[in-house]
Amino acid sequence: MSPNLTTHRARGSVKAVVAALRGFRRVLLTAHIRPDGDAVGSCVAMARLLKAQGWEPTVALSPLGMGPPRFLLEYAPCVAPTNVRVRDYDCVLLLDCGGPERLPDGPLRDAAERLPAMIIDHHVTSNRAYGLARWVIPDASSTGELIYRFAKRMRWAIDREAAEALWVALVTDTGRFAYSCTHPSTLRAAADILALGVDSSAINDRLYLYASEGAMLLKRKAYDSLTTWFRGRVALICLTARDFRRAGVAKSEIEDVIDIPRSIPTAQVSLFFYETKDKPGITRLSVRTRGEGLGFTAASIASHFGGGGHLRAAGCDLHDKPKAAIETVKAYLATIFEQA
């Protein structure tokens, strides 16, 4: 029986996670597939915090396709997900990820299913039945903000490298503090983190300013694909594997491309369909929603297709080519608009 298939109700607190961690020494830290800035920053920051307290942490994230946040991997011991060996660790700590189903197939997912697990997450679709201990706050701006709160409650010192990692987590998941998930607590955390010596200007340049010529050409292709449905209530863009090959860039280099359909003021639902170079034939979908009283959320749309995420920002994979995937999603949205 998996150590994570517990019959008791999972507890949700910092104390529960710390109490569980104290029973182990070698901790494997990881996050969801296709890790973003919040996932990378949270893992690296937590690894540094744990190491300073006597644990032996290792981060398991793939740098391939990670984009600008990749520089943070220099701050913590790291291993590729494909090189994870269960016998090397006593437990696994999932950050920004609610369960093993959100991990890449292979040795890493196997470790998460066989080792005792703890979870710190802020996704509304987090798997409540998984883990020995968990701390999940869906209203939090980011998992990075939760790691900051964790350190403060435990009175653990945050060094400069951990602060940089937390800064990346906060700014990327809040859209540079522009998204509705930004709360007063988020800005207070950001102010405290900034006071620890973070060069926010230099990090901003690495994350948002520098772009290759290929990335700019790919964005132009995305603009050309812009389409609206249902009298402008839905806006979408699409990029194919061929588009990515021609541009010679990864999706991580154009993370803000979802802002193109979001820029349509009437769009209650914004969609980004994309087919990557590594998995042609699978269409990935990023969903954003806005507006009150819609009767549906980005999370509910993504969940219908086996994905998940936040109430207003979620994603999923569709096992079809982009053209067919787009028609499938359009048909589903037609039904929920009718119901709404």
Total domain count, the chain: 2
Is there a contact between 40 and 8 (Cβ–Cβ < 8 Å)? no
Show Cβ contacts of residue 187 under 8 Å, excluding neighbours closer than 6 positions: 177
**CATH code, 329:** 3.10.310.30
**109 shares its domain with 148:** yes
Domain identity same for 85 and 32: yes
Count other Cβ atoms within 10 Å, centred on residue 223.
10
The per-residue pLDDT for 6 is 44
Any domain includes 93: yes
Spatial distance between the Cα atoms of 131 and 21, rounded to a whole number of angstroms: 12
Report if residue 99 sits inside a domain: yes
For residue 95, list its beta bridge partners: 120
pTM over 0.95: no
- Cα–Cα dist 136/121, whole Å: 5
Phi-psi region of 96 (alpha: psi -120 to 50; beta: other; left: phi over 0): left
The whole domain housing 177 covers 14-206
> Is 135 domain-assigned?
yes
Positions in the chain short of pLDDT 50: 1, 5-11
Judgement on whether residues 75 and 147 belong to the same structural domain of the protein: yes
pLDDT at 4: 65
CA distances (Å), origin 305, targets 314, 316, 325, 340:
11, 6, 11, 19
Looking at 184, 206, 228, which one is the last position of a domain? Answer: 206
Using one digit for the tens of pLDDT, what is the confidence trace for 12-39?
Answer: 899 999 999 999 999 999 999 889 999 9
In this structure, the answer to whether residues 252 and 328 fall within a common structural domain is yes
List, in sequence order, every residue forming a beta bridge with 135; answer none if it has no partner: 120
User: Are both 155 and 222 inside the same structural domain?
Assistant: no
* 233, burial (CB in 10 Å: exposed 0-12, middle 13-18, buried 19+): middle
Whole-number pLDDT of residue 10: 38
What DSSP state is assigned to residue 12?
Answer: B
CB 125 within 8 A of CB 303: yes
Residue 135 in contact with residue 12, Cβ under 8 Å? yes
On whether both 142 and 189 belong to a single domain, the answer is yes
Q: Please provide the DSSP assignment of 142-183 as one string.
A: -HHHHHHHHHHHHT----HHHHHHHHHHHHHHTTTTTSTT--
The verdict on residue 4 lying in a domain is no
Q: Which helix (H) or strand (E) element contains residue 31?
A: none
pLDDT value of position 7: 35
Q: Are residues 333 and 217 in the same domain?
A: yes
Q: Do 30 and 119 lie in a common domain?
A: yes
Residue 2 is predicted with a pLDDT of: 58
Return all residues near 336 (Cβ < 8 A) that are at least 6 apart: 295, 296, 301
CATH number at residue 165: 3.90.1640.10
What is residue 9's predicted lDDT score, i.e. its pLDDT? 39
Residues 6+ apart with CB under 8 A from 277: 241, 244, 245, 250
Pair 163, 280 in one domain: no
For residues 246 and 115, what is the distance between their CA atoms, to the nearest angstrom? 42
pLDDT for res 19: 95
> CA-to-CA distance for 84 and 57, rounded, in angstroms?
13
Cβ neighbours of 92 (radius 10 Å): 27
CA 307 to chain centre: 12
Last residue of a domain, one of 206, 234, 258: 206
- Look at residues 187, 206, 225 and tell me which one is the last residue of a structural domain: 206
Q: Which two tokens stand for residue 162?
A: 């951990």
Task: Answer yes or no: do 186 and 270 share one domain.
Answer: no
- Residue 6 falls inside a structural domain: no
Cα atoms in the 13 Å half-sphere on the side-chain side of 245: 8
Q: Are 200 and 51 found together in one domain? A: yes
